[in-house]
Structure 1
Amino acid sequence: MTTQNSTLRTAAHTAVPTAAPNPEESAWIRRYHPAVADAPRLVCFPHAGGSASFYFPVAKELTPAIDVLVVQYPGRQERRREPLVDNVPELADRAFEELRHYADRPLYLFGHSMGATVAFEIARRFKAAGIPAPERLFASARRAPSRTRTERVHTRDDEGVIKELRKLSGTDDRVLGNEEIMRLALPAIRNDYKAVETYRVDRGVSVDCPITVLIGDTDPNTTLDEVDAWADHTTAGHELQSFSGGHFYLADRQREVLDAITTRISATATIRG
């Protein structure tokens, strides 16, 4: 298999800054609530078509004990006038240039669906730049990077894309039936499906942090075999935790998911309330 993103940018220097910049000065990073000094950081990555605000409830629940940062991809919400990025490697390259400055304290990555793939690529870039690896990668609702299916959602007409969204039950039916909202949202959704559907990486391409895989037990887009293959992509071990629900299980199981996250963060970092 030809690896689409085998060449990573390597930083000219590897020093980790002593203090992170202000997220308010970055188009890429959102911090919805302030955290206590020296709190461990959790960086969240949205799903295909998603935006940073998806994680507002997560930030509300976890701060101030955990410093929750959320990546805002170009082409949505306040960045809606910026060009979309239609491939994972470029998206990861650009996001990493912002996130590399936030490794001055324990750093954890959480990505849902496409966001899990982007988070994996971000972790690879920390490794390539010689910056200490994230403490842990939480990969939610996404099969292992080397496990691919023949999917062409991004080539479907609008009705075909909406049909896929209904299958995943991640979008309110009232939104799916609102022509104006969908007209605004579909370009970003189709763009992100293209990014994730054309992404390829070889088995054995790995990161140096442990991976916790979280899935819904009725998710139509993953199988246990596909998610268990995350073991091929880490040198530090992996684990799998299943929840009741489908692709967007975390919307209904928020408390359980947050407990799973905080339990693992507290095992390697001091959390102060």
Structure 2
Amino acid sequence: MALGTESIWLRAYPGAAPPRTRLLCLPHAGGSASFFHSWGNALGDDVEVVAVRYPGRQERIAEEPVDDIELLADSISAELVPFLDTPLALFGHSMGASLAYEIALRLEARYGVVPAALMVSCRKAPHLLTPRTAALTDDGLIDEVRRLGGTDSALLAEPELRELILPAIRADFSAVARYAARPGVPVGCPVTGYVGDSDPDVDSEAVRAWRRVAPRGFGLKVLAGGHFYLVDRRAELLADIRARLARNP
């Protein structure tokens, strides 16, 4: 089934041909679907990039943000059901990696669909997560976003935009804080971990630990850069994703 504009949760970037695979992209805390805009059509005509639109930002700015990863995973998984006629791979960056993992578990347990691949970026494995402070002041939230870097941090320099986007950032950081360490439940698909070699919060061994939930195979790709290595290393990252998707049946 074609995605088109039928889903408020999903923004599709269709290729010129019917897709062989869909790649669902889940943004980081404070991020939005537009972060993956440049990925549209970058993986070839047979891979359709689909970015998740979280409540409380961009087209959904009037909605209340959701501060719980498992609730987000419930909603997104249910939204995906009509579109599972095409093999689905998942890519999540930072907070989005935990969300991608939870969606993979739900698709298999609730809907009998095993994703083609789970790709997790700059996020510790589920059993290694540690609590983080969610009750930051506005200035504290802004400092944390700027510390991690990324294109979204530039928006915080504008006072009017800051007032609009801070509620979503606060909800996302709260969701991350509430998503505590848990025994990792294995997924039924291959898992690939990505990380920048100078990420201030996540090192390669913490990402390598995802192999604990990957009995169908695990790969690790370390790229030059920090928490948002995927901005400067976009071409290298997309080439690796493309190659891995091409190897899936």
Superposition TM-score, scaled by structure 1 size: 0.86
Mean Cα deviation higher: 115-124 or 203-212: 203-212
Matching residue of 2:94? 113
Counterpart of 2:219 in structure 1 is: 239
Q: CA deviation at 1:207?
A: 1.0
Q: From the superposition, tell whether residues 264 and 182 of structure 1 become closer, same or farther in structure 2 (CA, over 3 Å).
A: same
Matched, 1:191 2:187: no
The 2-side partners of 1:35 and 1:209 are apart by 27
1:123 is aligned to 2:124:
no
Q: How does 1:69-218 map to 2 (within 5 A)?
A: 69-152=50-133, 154-171=134-151, 174-218=154-198
Higher relative contact order (CA 8 A, sep 6+): 1
2:24 maps to 1:43: yes
| Matched AA of 2:148 | L
Contact 2:19–2:47 under 8 Å retained in 1: no
What residue in structure 2 maps to residue 263 of structure 1?
A: 243
Which amino acid counterpart does residue 68 of structure 2 have in structure 1?
N
Q: Deviations over 1:85-135 (max 9, x none)?
A: 110110000000111222212211111111111110000001112423111
**Contact between 1:47 and 1:113, CA under 8 Å: does it hold in 2?**
yes
Deviations 1:246-265 (A, max 9, x none): 00000000000000100001
Q: Distance in 1 between matches of 2:180 and 2:209?
A: 15
AA in 1 matched with 2:234: Q
Tell me, yes or no, if the aligned pair for 1:30 and 1:71 is still in contact at 8 Å.
yes
Write the letter of the residue equivalent to 1:238.
Answer: F
SS at match of 2:89: strand
Residues 27-42 of structure 1: pairs in structure 2 closer than 5 A: 27-42=8-23
Q: Distance in 1 between matches of 2:154 and 2:3?
A: 37
TM-score when normalising by structure 2 = 0.94
Change (3 A) 1:83 1:244: same
Aligned-partner residue type, residue 179 of structure 1: P
Kindly, what percent of the aligned residue pairs are identical?
43
Closer, same or farther: CA 63–145 of 1 in aligned 2, 3 Å: same
Q: In the TM superposition, what whole-angstrom CA distance separates every residue of 1:2-37 from its partner, at most 9, and x where no partner exists?
A: xxxxxxxxxxxxxxxxxx253411111111344412
Structure 2: where are the runs of 5+ without partners? none
Q: Which of structures 1 and 2 has the bigger CA Rg?
A: 1
Helix, strand or coil at the partner of 2:128: coil
Q: 1:70 to 1:173 in 2, by over 3 A?
A: closer
2:183 & 2:16 partners in 1: Cα distance? 38
Are 2:19 and 2:46, in contact at CA under 8 Å, matched by a contact in 1? no
The residue type paired with residue 259 of structure 1 is: A
Name the counterpart of 1:9: none
Q: What is the Cα deviation at residue 178 of structure 1?
A: 1.5
Report the RMSD for the aligned CA atoms in angstroms.
Answer: 1.6
After superposition, the Cα gap between the structure-2 partners of 1:63 and 1:75, relative to the gap in structure 1 and judged at 3 Å, is farther
Q: Which one-letter code corresponds to 2:156 in the other structure?
A: L
Q: Is the 8 A contact 2:196 2:223 kept in 1?
A: yes
Contact 1:112-1:141 at 8 Å conserved across structures: yes
| CA separation of 1:35 and 1:216: change in aligned 2, threshold 3 A | same
Between the two proteins, the alignment pairs up a number of residues equal to 249
Q: Which stretch shifts more, 117-126 or 223-232?
A: 223-232
Q: Secondary structure at the match of 1:146?
A: helix
8 Å Cα contact 2:131/2:178 also seen in 1: no
Match of 1:42, SS state, is strand
Q: 2:81 is matched by which residue type in structure 1?
A: R
- Rate the CA distance shift 1:23–1:124 in 2: closer, same or farther, 3 A: farther
